[in-house]
Structure 1
Amino acid sequence: MTQQSFIFRFLDPGDALGEILFGLVMVLTFTIGARLLSGEAGVDAREIGVAAIGCNIAWGVIDAVFFVLGKLFYRSQRTRFFRQIKGAESEQAALLAVQEEFGLDEEPLAASPEDQALLYQSILALATHSQPMRVNLTRADFISALCVFALVATTAVPAVIPLLFIGNSWIALRVSNLLLVVLLFVVGYSWAHFTDARPIYVGLSVMLLGLVMVCIAIALGG
């Protein structure tokens, strides 16, 4: 099993993309922001690299905790919904609630009204004849949280390496920034394979979007 397939067993590709981009943008904000605020003479690339690693590790922990809390909230919300379905005053009210919860209006799927009605009736039948389970965290949840931490904390490590091992801060920062921009493109290019979009366009779009987010963060003092 490859590392990529392992991660996608526990994380949705869209969630994984978000965590990777978060880690990359965080380091890019450090490297560009520090140079702009300190000037060429006052920049210590090694200190920036150490600070960036520490920041990404901290935010990796925070994101992992929020991920677990989100899982608990989602399951608790679902449990509450299914209990409400079982206690609905009429089948029509229950069907309406199911339609609102599982509606296909925002899905890229052109389903006929008859097929949608069958889907809602099937969900209602399943909910009616089943018992909501107690909400618990699972082993998979903790592995998923570990994946979240790893993506945020380690994704930008290649771009931090020049800051730690290249003695000339001016060169180190530019090599690091170049690597980060390339990584943004590679992430977008790879993620496009999960969609119908053209990889080259997605790669360029993600790269430009990442740069825009960095500029916004720097402008706001982040």
Structure 2
Amino acid sequence: MNYLKPSETLSELFAGLVVVLTVTLAASVLGGGDEAGATTALIGAIGANTAWGIIDASLYVMNATFDRKRQLRFVHVIAASPDEATALDQIRGELDPILESVTKAGDRDQLYRSIYSTLAHGEFPARSGLQRDDIVGAIQMFCIALCATLPAAIPLLLSSHPMQALRISNFLVVGLLFIVGYYWAKYVDVNRWFAGLGLMSLGLILVGVAIALGG
């Protein structure tokens, strides 16, 4: 079971590939293509994405907990409202930006009254703190970041020609950036080739910026 949203999975994979490409391209340019440079690139890519995965996993847990705490606070605000009209205004302010484009005003009003009726009787979420799903989602986030190193790691481990291995690694990572964009288009209803080329171009631009700034 996937505990991450498609946007979270694809964003994490995209970020991991950008980090890997930054390390391996920098090694290609600055390392001279010798065996030591290839080894440094491999260790650097794994280390950078391991750190990135830990950071993003921690942020995932923080954000999940924050969202539940915020939802619980909203529930308490509704329950403590002095009258139904005030509570409905609070609910509209929270949910209209999400539902307005896909629902009719009358349907939203009926839904909001139903929400108020439920919350006014004190039917609050049972838990708002850290949950098992948060931990599993964080682990998945970490694994995605770490898996992004595989296209770089495999050629460097298998080839006896360091410069050739680095070039193959870079080519594979660039290709995967295109694939991530191509797959992303499935969720945002745009041309898949356009999305693939666009995300690949964005990744290369970000890599260039990172290298230029000493990343």
TM-score normalised to the size of structure 1? 0.87
Alignment partner, residue 3 of structure 1? none
1:182-221 mapped onto 2 (5 Å cutoff): 182-221=175-214
Distance apart, 1:48 and its partner CA: 0.7
Report the residue type matching 1:124 in the other structure.
Answer: Y
Alignment partner, residue 48 of structure 1? 41
Give the stretch that moved more between structures: 21-30 or 148-157. Answer: 148-157
Alignment partner, residue 15 of structure 2? 22
Confirm or deny that 1:180 pairs with 2:170: no
Give the stretch that moved more between structures: 94-103 or 108-117. Answer: 108-117
- Equivalenced residue count is 214
Q: Which runs of 5+ in 1 are unaligned?
A: 1-5
Alignment partner, residue 111 of structure 1? 103
How far, CA to CA, are the matches of 1:131 and 1:195 in structure 2?
34
Contact kept, 8 Å, 2:156 with 2:162, in 1: the verdict is yes
Contact kept, 8 Å, 2:65 with 2:130, in 1: the verdict is yes
Per-residue CA shift, 1:4-26, capped at 9, x if unaligned? xx33xx11000101110111000
How far, CA to CA, are the matches of 1:43 and 1:209 in structure 2?
30
| Runs of 4+ deviating beyond 4 Å | 38-43
Confirm or deny that 1:134 pairs with 2:127: yes
For residue 134 of structure 1, give the secondary structure of its aligned residue in structure 2.
Answer: coil
How far, CA to CA, are the matches of 2:102 and 2:66 in structure 1?
30
Distance 1:46 1:38, change over 3 A: closer
RMSD: 2.1
Alignment partner, residue 117 of structure 2? 125
Distance 1:108 1:87, change over 3 A: closer
* Identity across matched positions, percent: 39
How far, CA to CA, are the matches of 2:35 and 2:165 in structure 1?
14
How far, CA to CA, are the matches of 2:102 and 2:70 in structure 1?
28
TM-score normalised to the size of structure 2? 0.90
How far, CA to CA, are the matches of 1:185 and 1:107 in structure 2?
33
Distance apart, 1:140 and its partner CA: 1.9
Contact kept, 8 Å, 2:16 with 2:146, in 1: the verdict is yes
Report the residue type matching 1:170 in the other structure.
Answer: M
Q: Which runs of 5+ in 2 are unaligned?
A: none
Contact kept, 8 Å, 1:23 with 1:156, in 2: the verdict is yes
Distance apart, 1:43 and its partner CA: 6.6
